[in-house]
Structure 1
Amino acid sequence: MGASQIETERLILRQWSDADIMPWAAMNADPLVREYFTEILNYEQSARSLGSFRSELDERGWGWWAVEIAETGQFVGFAGLDVVDDGLPFKGVEVGWRLAREAWGHGYATEAGHACLDYGFDVLRLDEILALTAVGNVRSRAVMHRLGMTYDPADDFTDPDVPGGHAVLYRSRSARMR
Protein backbone atom coordinates (compact mmCIF):
# COMPACT_ATOMS: atom_id res chain seq x y z
CA MET A 1 0.00 0.00 0.00
CA GLY A 2 2.77 2.46 0.87
CA ALA A 3 2.88 5.19 3.48
CA SER A 4 0.73 8.24 3.07
CA GLN A 5 2.15 11.66 3.83
CA ILE A 6 0.34 14.54 5.50
CA GLU A 7 1.33 18.16 5.13
CA THR A 8 0.14 20.96 7.39
CA GLU A 9 0.99 24.65 7.39
CA ARG A 10 4.29 24.03 9.20
CA LEU A 11 4.80 20.26 9.39
CA ILE A 12 5.25 17.18 7.25
CA LEU A 13 4.10 13.84 8.67
CA ARG A 14 5.96 11.27 6.61
CA GLN A 15 7.51 7.83 6.37
CA TRP A 16 10.55 7.29 8.57
CA SER A 17 14.04 7.52 7.06
CA ASP A 18 17.36 6.08 8.18
CA ALA A 19 18.45 9.62 9.08
CA ASP A 20 15.72 9.72 11.76
CA ILE A 21 17.28 7.04 13.97
CA MET A 22 19.79 9.26 15.78
CA PRO A 23 17.37 12.07 16.74
CA TRP A 24 14.67 9.47 17.53
CA ALA A 25 17.05 7.58 19.83
CA ALA A 26 18.11 10.85 21.47
CA MET A 27 14.45 11.69 22.14
CA ASN A 28 13.86 8.28 23.70
CA ALA A 29 16.93 8.70 25.91
CA ASP A 30 15.67 12.06 27.25
CA PRO A 31 14.15 11.55 30.72
CA LEU A 32 11.80 14.53 30.28
CA VAL A 33 10.46 13.26 26.96
CA ARG A 34 9.98 9.80 28.55
CA GLU A 35 8.68 11.16 31.88
CA TYR A 36 5.29 9.46 31.54
CA PHE A 37 6.62 6.08 30.40
CA THR A 38 7.99 3.30 32.55
CA GLU A 39 11.40 3.26 30.88
CA ILE A 40 13.90 5.21 28.83
CA LEU A 41 14.69 3.44 25.56
CA ASN A 42 18.20 2.60 24.43
CA TYR A 43 19.42 2.89 20.84
CA GLU A 44 18.48 -0.69 19.91
CA GLN A 45 14.94 -0.33 21.30
CA SER A 46 14.52 2.95 19.42
CA ALA A 47 15.78 1.38 16.19
CA ARG A 48 13.32 -1.52 16.58
CA SER A 49 10.41 0.85 17.15
CA LEU A 50 11.39 2.90 14.09
CA GLY A 51 11.47 -0.29 12.01
CA SER A 52 8.05 -1.29 13.31
CA PHE A 53 6.57 2.15 12.56
CA ARG A 54 8.06 2.04 9.06
CA SER A 55 6.62 -1.42 8.35
CA GLU A 56 3.15 -0.52 9.61
CA LEU A 57 3.10 2.63 7.47
CA ASP A 58 4.14 0.59 4.42
CA GLU A 59 1.50 -2.09 5.10
CA ARG A 60 -1.48 0.09 6.10
CA GLY A 61 -0.60 3.49 4.69
CA TRP A 62 -1.14 5.07 8.14
CA GLY A 63 0.30 4.74 11.63
CA TRP A 64 3.00 6.63 13.53
CA TRP A 65 4.48 9.15 11.10
CA ALA A 66 7.82 10.90 11.56
CA VAL A 67 7.24 14.64 12.00
CA GLU A 68 9.50 17.23 10.46
CA ILE A 69 9.36 20.99 10.25
CA ALA A 70 8.48 21.77 6.61
CA GLU A 71 10.64 24.88 6.38
CA THR A 72 13.84 23.27 7.65
CA GLY A 73 13.38 19.51 7.22
CA GLN A 74 14.32 19.04 10.89
CA PHE A 75 12.97 15.84 12.48
CA VAL A 76 11.11 16.79 15.67
CA GLY A 77 9.25 13.62 16.69
CA PHE A 78 6.28 11.53 15.75
CA ALA A 79 2.50 11.74 15.54
CA GLY A 80 -0.16 9.49 14.16
CA LEU A 81 -2.84 6.92 14.60
CA ASP A 82 -2.61 3.33 15.75
CA VAL A 83 -4.83 0.52 16.92
CA VAL A 84 -5.13 0.53 20.72
CA ASP A 85 -2.88 -2.06 22.35
CA ASP A 86 -4.42 -5.37 23.39
CA GLY A 87 -5.05 -5.72 27.10
CA LEU A 88 -6.53 -2.26 27.60
CA PRO A 89 -10.19 -2.02 28.69
CA PHE A 90 -11.33 -0.51 25.38
CA LYS A 91 -10.82 -1.01 21.65
CA GLY A 92 -10.38 1.44 18.82
CA VAL A 93 -7.84 3.69 17.16
CA GLU A 94 -5.80 6.19 19.13
CA VAL A 95 -4.16 9.45 18.13
CA GLY A 96 -0.84 10.34 19.68
CA TRP A 97 2.34 12.40 19.45
CA ARG A 98 5.75 12.68 21.04
CA LEU A 99 8.09 15.55 20.30
CA ALA A 100 11.69 16.36 21.08
CA ARG A 101 11.99 18.81 23.95
CA GLU A 102 13.22 21.63 21.70
CA ALA A 103 9.95 21.32 19.72
CA TRP A 104 7.73 21.82 22.77
CA GLY A 105 5.74 25.02 23.12
CA HIS A 106 5.39 25.80 19.40
CA GLY A 107 1.95 24.27 18.82
CA TYR A 108 3.36 21.40 16.76
CA ALA A 109 1.60 18.66 18.76
CA THR A 110 -1.77 20.37 18.31
CA GLU A 111 -1.14 20.97 14.61
CA ALA A 112 -0.07 17.36 14.04
CA GLY A 113 -2.95 16.10 16.20
CA HIS A 114 -5.52 18.01 14.12
CA ALA A 115 -4.00 16.59 10.93
CA CYS A 116 -4.15 13.05 12.31
CA LEU A 117 -7.77 13.44 13.46
CA ASP A 118 -8.71 14.81 10.03
CA TYR A 119 -6.99 11.84 8.37
CA GLY A 120 -8.73 9.37 10.68
CA PHE A 121 -12.19 10.85 10.15
CA ASP A 122 -11.95 11.91 6.49
CA VAL A 123 -9.73 9.21 4.96
CA LEU A 124 -10.15 6.20 7.26
CA ARG A 125 -13.81 7.08 7.95
CA LEU A 126 -13.47 6.29 11.66
CA ASP A 127 -16.44 7.10 13.89
CA GLU A 128 -14.33 7.75 16.99
CA ILE A 129 -10.67 8.34 17.79
CA LEU A 130 -9.22 7.92 21.27
CA ALA A 131 -6.25 9.49 23.05
CA LEU A 132 -4.66 8.19 26.22
CA THR A 133 -1.99 9.39 28.59
CA ALA A 134 -0.83 9.30 32.18
CA VAL A 135 -3.12 11.23 34.52
CA GLY A 136 -0.30 13.66 35.35
CA ASN A 137 0.72 14.45 31.77
CA VAL A 138 -0.68 17.97 31.81
CA ARG A 139 0.94 18.98 28.50
CA SER A 140 -0.63 16.13 26.50
CA ARG A 141 -3.95 16.60 28.23
CA ALA A 142 -3.88 20.28 27.22
CA VAL A 143 -3.31 19.24 23.60
CA MET A 144 -6.27 16.85 23.83
CA HIS A 145 -8.44 19.73 25.07
CA ARG A 146 -7.20 22.01 22.25
CA LEU A 147 -8.14 19.24 19.80
CA GLY A 148 -11.69 19.34 21.15
CA MET A 149 -11.49 15.87 22.64
CA THR A 150 -13.74 15.05 25.59
CA TYR A 151 -12.80 13.54 28.94
CA ASP A 152 -14.99 11.51 31.29
CA PRO A 153 -13.40 10.45 34.62
CA ALA A 154 -15.45 7.23 34.41
CA ASP A 155 -13.13 6.20 31.53
CA ASP A 156 -9.95 6.39 33.68
CA PHE A 157 -8.07 3.09 33.56
CA THR A 158 -4.94 1.25 34.66
CA ASP A 159 -2.13 1.21 32.09
CA PRO A 160 0.97 -0.85 32.92
CA ASP A 161 3.01 1.34 30.53
CA VAL A 162 2.71 4.52 32.64
CA PRO A 163 4.37 5.11 36.02
CA GLY A 164 1.85 4.46 38.77
CA GLY A 165 -0.54 2.93 36.23
CA HIS A 166 -3.20 5.67 36.43
CA ALA A 167 -4.18 6.75 32.90
CA VAL A 168 -6.91 8.82 31.32
CA LEU A 169 -8.86 8.42 28.10
CA TYR A 170 -10.09 11.19 25.81
CA ARG A 171 -12.49 10.77 22.89
CA SER A 172 -13.24 12.56 19.65
CA ARG A 173 -16.26 11.67 17.54
CA SER A 174 -16.63 12.16 13.82
CA ALA A 175 -18.88 15.01 12.77
CA ARG A 176 -20.91 12.29 10.99
CA MET A 177 -21.69 10.75 14.41
CA ARG A 178 -22.68 13.91 16.28
Structure 2
Amino acid sequence: MTVLHTARLRLEPISEAHYQRMRVMNSDPEVMTYLNAGQPEPEEKTRMAVERTKQRWAEWGYSWWALIRLDDGVLVGMACLQHLDGDKNQPHEIGWRLARAGWGQGYASEAASAIVAHAFDVVKAPEVVAVAHPDNAASIKVMTRLGMQYQGRGVHYGLESVVYRLPRP
Protein backbone atom coordinates (compact mmCIF):
# COMPACT_ATOMS: atom_id res chain seq x y z
CA MET A 1 0.00 0.00 0.00
CA THR A 2 1.31 3.38 -1.05
CA VAL A 3 1.99 6.30 1.25
CA LEU A 4 2.13 9.66 -0.55
CA HIS A 5 3.69 12.88 0.71
CA THR A 6 3.02 16.54 -0.06
CA ALA A 7 4.50 19.70 1.42
CA ARG A 8 2.09 19.61 4.38
CA LEU A 9 0.47 16.17 4.35
CA ARG A 10 1.19 12.47 4.61
CA LEU A 11 -1.42 10.39 2.78
CA GLU A 12 -1.60 6.96 4.39
CA PRO A 13 -3.95 4.13 3.38
CA ILE A 14 -7.05 4.11 5.58
CA SER A 15 -6.95 1.48 8.33
CA GLU A 16 -8.61 0.78 11.68
CA ALA A 17 -6.14 3.26 13.20
CA HIS A 18 -8.04 6.05 11.44
CA TYR A 19 -11.53 4.90 12.40
CA GLN A 20 -12.12 7.15 15.43
CA ARG A 21 -11.20 10.39 13.64
CA MET A 22 -13.19 9.28 10.56
CA ARG A 23 -16.16 8.62 12.84
CA VAL A 24 -16.00 12.16 14.25
CA MET A 25 -15.72 13.64 10.74
CA ASN A 26 -18.49 11.49 9.23
CA SER A 27 -20.90 12.27 12.07
CA ASP A 28 -20.54 16.04 11.58
CA PRO A 29 -23.67 17.31 9.77
CA GLU A 30 -21.71 20.20 8.19
CA VAL A 31 -19.10 17.84 6.74
CA MET A 32 -21.90 15.66 5.37
CA THR A 33 -23.87 18.56 3.82
CA TYR A 34 -23.29 17.30 0.25
CA LEU A 35 -22.73 13.63 1.11
CA ASN A 36 -25.04 10.88 2.33
CA ALA A 37 -28.04 13.08 1.48
CA GLY A 38 -26.82 15.53 4.12
CA GLN A 39 -27.19 13.08 6.98
CA PRO A 40 -24.45 12.17 9.48
CA GLU A 41 -23.08 8.74 8.65
CA PRO A 42 -24.06 5.97 11.10
CA GLU A 43 -21.20 4.34 13.01
CA GLU A 44 -21.71 0.99 11.27
CA LYS A 45 -21.44 2.61 7.83
CA THR A 46 -18.07 4.14 8.77
CA ARG A 47 -16.86 0.72 10.05
CA MET A 48 -17.97 -0.87 6.76
CA ALA A 49 -16.16 1.86 4.82
CA VAL A 50 -12.89 1.01 6.59
CA GLU A 51 -13.32 -2.67 5.68
CA ARG A 52 -14.29 -1.91 2.08
CA THR A 53 -11.30 0.41 1.75
CA LYS A 54 -8.90 -2.28 3.01
CA GLN A 55 -10.37 -4.77 0.52
CA ARG A 56 -9.96 -2.32 -2.37
CA TRP A 57 -6.34 -1.62 -1.42
CA ALA A 58 -5.76 -5.38 -1.55
CA GLU A 59 -7.64 -5.86 -4.84
CA TRP A 60 -6.89 -2.64 -6.77
CA GLY A 61 -3.70 -1.33 -5.14
CA TYR A 62 -5.40 2.04 -4.41
CA SER A 63 -8.40 3.38 -2.53
CA TRP A 64 -8.81 5.97 0.26
CA TRP A 65 -5.97 7.71 2.08
CA ALA A 66 -6.10 9.47 5.46
CA LEU A 67 -4.78 13.03 5.15
CA ILE A 68 -2.42 13.50 8.07
CA ARG A 69 -1.09 17.00 8.71
CA LEU A 70 2.70 16.79 9.04
CA ASP A 71 3.13 19.52 11.64
CA ASP A 72 0.88 17.95 14.29
CA GLY A 73 -0.19 14.48 13.09
CA VAL A 74 -3.90 15.38 12.96
CA LEU A 75 -6.17 13.65 10.44
CA VAL A 76 -7.71 16.57 8.54
CA GLY A 77 -9.57 14.53 5.94
CA MET A 78 -9.57 11.68 3.47
CA ALA A 79 -8.99 11.48 -0.26
CA CYS A 80 -9.20 8.69 -2.79
CA LEU A 81 -8.40 7.09 -6.05
CA GLN A 82 -11.09 4.55 -6.81
CA HIS A 83 -13.46 3.57 -9.60
CA LEU A 84 -16.52 5.72 -10.10
CA ASP A 85 -19.50 4.27 -8.25
CA GLY A 86 -17.21 1.49 -6.95
CA ASP A 87 -17.44 -0.27 -10.35
CA LYS A 88 -14.11 -1.52 -11.73
CA ASN A 89 -15.48 -0.98 -15.27
CA GLN A 90 -15.90 2.75 -14.64
CA PRO A 91 -13.15 5.40 -14.93
CA HIS A 92 -10.76 6.16 -12.11
CA GLU A 93 -12.23 8.74 -9.76
CA ILE A 94 -10.52 11.10 -7.36
CA GLY A 95 -12.39 12.44 -4.36
CA TRP A 96 -11.94 14.01 -0.95
CA ARG A 97 -13.70 14.74 2.30
CA LEU A 98 -12.31 17.17 4.86
CA ALA A 99 -12.97 17.67 8.53
CA ARG A 100 -13.99 21.22 9.37
CA ALA A 101 -10.50 21.78 10.84
CA GLY A 102 -9.14 21.30 7.32
CA TRP A 103 -11.52 23.56 5.41
CA GLY A 104 -10.21 26.52 3.44
CA GLN A 105 -6.53 25.67 3.78
CA GLY A 106 -5.84 24.06 0.41
CA TYR A 107 -5.51 20.51 1.75
CA ALA A 108 -8.00 19.05 -0.75
CA SER A 109 -6.13 20.56 -3.71
CA GLU A 110 -2.77 19.47 -2.30
CA ALA A 111 -3.88 15.89 -1.73
CA ALA A 112 -5.79 15.69 -5.01
CA SER A 113 -2.73 16.87 -6.97
CA ALA A 114 -0.61 14.11 -5.41
CA ILE A 115 -3.30 11.52 -6.15
CA VAL A 116 -3.68 12.65 -9.77
CA ALA A 117 0.09 12.30 -10.24
CA HIS A 118 -0.06 8.82 -8.70
CA ALA A 119 -3.02 7.88 -10.91
CA PHE A 120 -1.21 8.91 -14.10
CA ASP A 121 2.40 8.01 -13.24
CA VAL A 122 1.96 4.78 -11.26
CA VAL A 123 -1.52 3.40 -11.96
CA LYS A 124 -1.33 4.55 -15.61
CA ALA A 125 -4.97 5.64 -15.58
CA PRO A 126 -5.99 7.08 -18.98
CA GLU A 127 -8.11 9.73 -17.24
CA VAL A 128 -9.51 10.67 -13.87
CA VAL A 129 -12.97 11.98 -13.10
CA ALA A 130 -14.44 13.67 -10.05
CA VAL A 131 -18.05 14.14 -9.04
CA ALA A 132 -19.70 16.53 -6.61
CA HIS A 133 -23.09 17.76 -5.58
CA PRO A 134 -23.97 20.65 -7.94
CA ASP A 135 -24.05 23.10 -4.99
CA ASN A 136 -20.64 22.05 -3.60
CA ALA A 137 -18.70 25.10 -4.81
CA ALA A 138 -15.59 24.23 -2.75
CA SER A 139 -15.16 20.81 -4.41
CA ILE A 140 -15.90 22.22 -7.86
CA LYS A 141 -13.20 24.84 -7.25
CA VAL A 142 -10.69 22.07 -6.45
CA MET A 143 -11.65 20.26 -9.66
CA THR A 144 -11.12 23.35 -11.80
CA ARG A 145 -7.82 24.13 -10.03
CA LEU A 146 -6.63 20.68 -11.09
CA GLY A 147 -7.44 21.55 -14.71
CA MET A 148 -10.47 19.25 -14.86
CA GLN A 149 -13.17 20.10 -17.39
CA TYR A 150 -16.91 20.01 -16.80
CA GLN A 151 -18.53 17.02 -18.54
CA GLY A 152 -22.15 17.37 -17.47
CA ARG A 153 -24.44 15.95 -14.82
CA GLY A 154 -25.24 12.45 -13.73
CA VAL A 155 -26.38 10.39 -10.77
CA HIS A 156 -23.48 8.90 -8.81
CA TYR A 157 -23.63 7.25 -5.39
CA GLY A 158 -27.38 7.84 -5.52
CA LEU A 159 -27.00 11.63 -5.71
CA GLU A 160 -27.37 14.20 -8.50
CA SER A 161 -23.80 15.18 -9.39
CA VAL A 162 -21.69 17.33 -11.65
CA VAL A 163 -18.94 15.39 -13.42
CA TYR A 164 -15.47 16.73 -14.21
CA ARG A 165 -12.74 14.97 -16.23
CA LEU A 166 -8.98 15.23 -16.64
CA PRO A 167 -7.30 13.18 -19.38
CA ARG A 168 -3.81 11.83 -18.85
CA PRO A 169 -1.28 14.26 -20.35
Query: TM-score w.r.t. structure 1 length?
Result: 0.86
Q: Deviations over 1:107-163 (max 9, x none)?
A: 0000000001000001011111000011111010001011111113xx21134633x
Q: Which residue of 2 aligns with 1:80?
A: 80
Structure 2 equivalent of residue 12 of structure 1:
10
Q: Over the residues paired in the alignment, what is the CA RMSD in angstroms?
A: 1.7
Quick one: structure 1 residues 159 and 59, their matched pair in 2 at CA, closer, same or farther if it must change by over 3 Å? closer
CA drift of 1:54 comes to 2.1
Partner of 1:156, secondary structure, is strand
Determine which structure has the larger strand proportion and give its number. Answer: 2
Moved more, 3-12 or 36-45: 36-45
Residue identity opposite 1:158 in structure 2: V
Aligned length: 166
SS at match of 2:41: coil
Task: Tell whether the 8 Å contact from 2:25 to 2:99 is kept in structure 1 after alignment.
Answer: yes
Superposed displacement of residue 86, structure 1: 6.2
**Deviations 1:24-74 (CA, angstroms, capped at 9, x unpaired):** 011111111111121321112111101211222233321111111122211
SS in 1 for 2:10: strand
Q: In the alignment, which residue of structure 2 is the partner of 1:100?
A: 99
C-alpha distance in 2 between matches for 1:15 and 1:133: 22
Contact 2:85/2:156 (CA < 8 Å) preserved in 1?
Answer: no
Alignment partner, residue 170 of structure 1: 164
Over residues 56-115 of structure 1, what are the superposed CA-to-partner deviations in whole Å (9 max), with x where a residue is unaligned? 22333211111111222111121121011168xx93110000010110111000000000
CA distance in 2, matches of 1:19, 1:118: 26
Unaligned runs of 5+ in 1: none
Q: Alignment partner of 2:108: what SS? A: helix
Which residue matches 2:24?
26
Match of 1:66 in 2: 66
CA distance in 2, matches of 1:86, 1:16: 16
Distance 2:114 2:82 in 1: 14
**For 1:35, what is the secondary structure of its paired residue?**
coil
Give the alignment's TM-score, normalised by structure 2: 0.91
Q: Which of residues 158, 165, 175 in structure 1 aligns to 2:155?
A: 158
Q: Does the aligned pair in 1 maintain the 2:13–2:63 contact within 8 Å?
A: no
How far, CA to CA, are the matches of 2:72 and 2:58 in structure 1? Answer: 25
Q: Give me the whole-angstrom Cα distance separating, in 2, the residues matched to 1:141 and 1:83.
A: 19
Q: Who wins on radius of gyration, i.e. which is larger?
A: 1
